[in-house]
Amino acid sequence: MAIDPQFEANREKVGEENGVAVWGPVDPPEKHGIHGTHVAVDFDICLADGACLEDCPVDVFTWVDTPGHPESDIKAEPTHEDQCIDCMLCVDVCPVDAIDVDPGRAGRI
């Protein structure tokens, strides 16, 4: 299952972590929700293979710990989503479609 591209309408913003918006539901360690707005990563399906970190030309992502999550103990968080140039490389390389980049959401970070 891929990230919901309509998550802003379908989910509630439940807070922030590391300066990044978090969209629920959140119930650690199993559920961490979607992190980010312009660049959004569904932590619940992210496998943490690192392709987005390796391929991003402007270093939008950083590793964050998610101990006990069933998929992986780390996730790629869009900590620097304001640096995104909308090249979509991260979207293209994510093996589980956990990332959504929407230039229309850039002003709502």
Whether a cis peptide bond, with omega within 30° of 0, leads into 70 is no
Residue 80 annotated in ligand binding: no
Q: Look up residue 28 and give its DSSP letter.
A: T
The DSSP string of 66-101 is -TT-SS-SEEEE-TTGGG-----HHHHH-TT--EEE
Residue 38 annotated in ligand binding: no
Residue 35 annotated in ligand binding: yes
For residue 15, the surrounding DSSP H or E stretch is strand 13-17
Q: Which two tokens stand for residue 49?
A: 């293979």
Residue 32 annotated in ligand binding: no
Residue 94 annotated in ligand binding: yes
Residue 87 annotated in ligand binding: yes
Residue 90 annotated in ligand binding: yes
Q: Look up residue 59 and give its DSSP letter.
A: -
Q: List the binding residues for [3Fe-4S] cluster.
A: 46, 52, 94
Q: List the binding residues.
A: 35, 46, 52, 56, 84, 87, 90, 94
Q: List the binding residues for Zn(2+).
A: 35
Q: List the binding residues for [4Fe-4S] cluster.
A: 56, 84, 87, 90
